Amino acid sequence: MGWFLERMNYSAYSIWPDMYKPLLSRLTLDDVSPDRTTTRDLRPMVDKYGLQQIILLTRIQVDERAMPTFELRITEDDLASFRANLYRHLQLTIPDEDYRNYKVALDRLS
């Protein structure tokens, strides 16, 4: 999801905590701990980097009332279809491991 948003020039993509000054006005952060301390530490980044929005990608819902959230549910059928298309079009096979983000999966493939 973060990679897609970056490719569409909607937001910059970074894996937490490897932060950098984003080139776009929105920042998508992956692997963020959804606890209140971490999410509250992110708020000053909006002013620091002049951001319009920070989008968090987590596996657990963020427990912060001030942050709007939604769930994107991906089923086993979705994953099976994705793996089949990856093999069909690119001849790539992703091992049956649990990957937290696409960069780790791509490193594993190379």
**Together in a domain, 13 and 53:** yes
Please check whether residue 39 lies inside any domain of the structure.
yes
The residue segments making up the domain with residue 47 are: 2-57
Structural domain total, the chain: 2
For residue 63, being part of any structural domain is answered with no
Average pLDDT per run of 10 along the chain, which is 110 residues long?
85 81 89 80 86 85 75 80 82 69 65
Q: Is the pTM of this model over 0.85?
A: no
71/74 Cα distance (integer angstroms) = 9
* Total number of residues shown for the chain: 110
Task: Give domain status of residue 41, yes or no.
Answer: yes
